[in-house]
């Protein structure tokens, strides 16, 4: 069951949240890994090598390069880096309307920051407790822990963006509240360690991607109004 999200409100407001190339969400993880690796190196022994490899993995996981949105007006950009795993006509559980669902699966080697697919005002933020099944399975959309944002565009269309936890992911971070205005491609959240993002668009919107396509947040166009 979806519920109003206090989860999102427990984090910094969007206007206060800035980030460098290495996402702030990863600083504690990277710092701890570096300290452990340095200690192992100081003590000596080749067993420190796996620890430095772990540092490199964390740095690549939490990288968050800037993205320049150049899509034409009316374009819907991807909210996440990853692979398209589902395109289907469904009922949007967040708005109870007919919708076109496009799902993007992120593995541990993708950038995990999430960006707004369209310009719009946040109408609703809802958090759902749930399971942690493998995120590239269709049932993950219905069963997994998730956080949904409903955006209303200037034309009055409603677009839902749902951050879905995965098998390893245990932390969904969302930095928006009701009433916030998001620009297309603007960063609004982060999911740690593998997950997916579902986008529910008006049913009549024309998709421009296919299942299996690889997309990048803020730059790849999923569909157009």
pLDDT tens for 31-41 read 999 999 999 88
d(CA 4, CA 141): 18
Same domain? For 48 and 74 the reply is: no
pLDDT the model gives residue 15 = 39
* Alpha helices, H only, the chain: 6-9, 27-43, 49-61, 140-143
Residue 119 has which token pair? 């310009």
pTM exceeding the 0.75 threshold for the entire prediction: yes
Whether residue 78 is found in the same domain as residue 48: no
Q: Describe the crossing of helices 27-43 and 49-61 by its angle, rounded to 10 degrees.
A: 170
Q: Of 97 and 129, which is predicted with more confidence?
A: 97
Active site residues: 195
Q: How confident is the model at residue 9, as a pLDDT? A: 36
Q: 149-175: per-residue pLDDT in tens?
A: 999 999 999 999 999 886 665 678 899
Asked whether the CA dihedral 11, 12, 13, 18 is positive or negative, the reply is negative
**Same-domain check for residues 77 and 106:** yes
The CATH number of whichever domain residue 199 belongs to comes to 2.70.70.10
pLDDT for the residue 134: 58
Predicted local confidence at residue 135, as pLDDT: 52
For residues 115 and 188, membership in a common domain is answered with yes
Structure tokens at 187: 């960063």
Strand partners of residue 127: 3, 147
Residue 52 is part of which domain span? 24-61
**Whole-angstrom distance, CA of residue 64 vs CA of residue 20:** 7
C-alpha 8/C-alpha 177 separation (Å) is 7
125 and 28 housed in the same domain: no
Total count of domains within the chain = 2
Partner residues linked to 97 by β-bridges: 92
pLDDT at 26: 74
Model pLDDT, residue 35:
94
Q: Verify that 55 and 74 share a domain, yes or no.
A: no
Q: Tens of pLDDT along 87-123?
A: 999 999 999 999 999 999 998 888 889 999 999 999 9
Which residue in the block uniquely carries the two structure tokens 């947040």?
217
Domain co-membership, 214 together with 104: yes
Identify whether the C-beta of residue 132 lies closer than 8 Å to the C-beta of residue 170. yes
Could you give the CA distance from residue 14 to residue 29 in angstroms, rounded to a whole number?
22
């Amino acid at each position: 069951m979806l519920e109003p999200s206090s989860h999102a409100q427990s984090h910094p407001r969007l206007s206060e949240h800035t980030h460098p190339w290495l996402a702030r969400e990863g600083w504690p993880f990277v710092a701890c890994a570096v300290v452990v690796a340095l200690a192992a190196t100081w003590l000596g022994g080749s067993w420190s090598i796996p620890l430095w490899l772990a540092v490199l993995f964390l740095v690549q996981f939490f990288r968050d390069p800037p993205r320049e949105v150049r899509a034409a007006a009316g374009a819907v950009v991807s909210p996440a880096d990853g692979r398209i795993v589902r395109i289907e006509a469904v009922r949007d559980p967040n708005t109870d309307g007919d919708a076109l669902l496009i799902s993007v699966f992120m593995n541990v080697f993708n950038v995990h920051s999430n960006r707004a697919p369209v310009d719009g005002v946040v109408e609703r933020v809802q958090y759902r407790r749930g399971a942690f099944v493998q995120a590239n399975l269709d049932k993950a959309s219905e069963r997994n822990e998730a956080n949904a944002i409903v955006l209303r565009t200037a034309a009055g269309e409603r677009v839902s963006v749902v951050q879905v936890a995965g098998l390893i992911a245990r932390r969904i971070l969302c930095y928006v509240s009701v009433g916030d205005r998001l620009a297309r491609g603007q960063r609004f959240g982060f999911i740690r360690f593998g997950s997916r993002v579902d986008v529910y668009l008006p049913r009549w919107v024309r998709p421009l991607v296919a299942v299996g396509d690889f997309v990048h947040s803020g730059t790849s166009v999923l569909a157009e109004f």
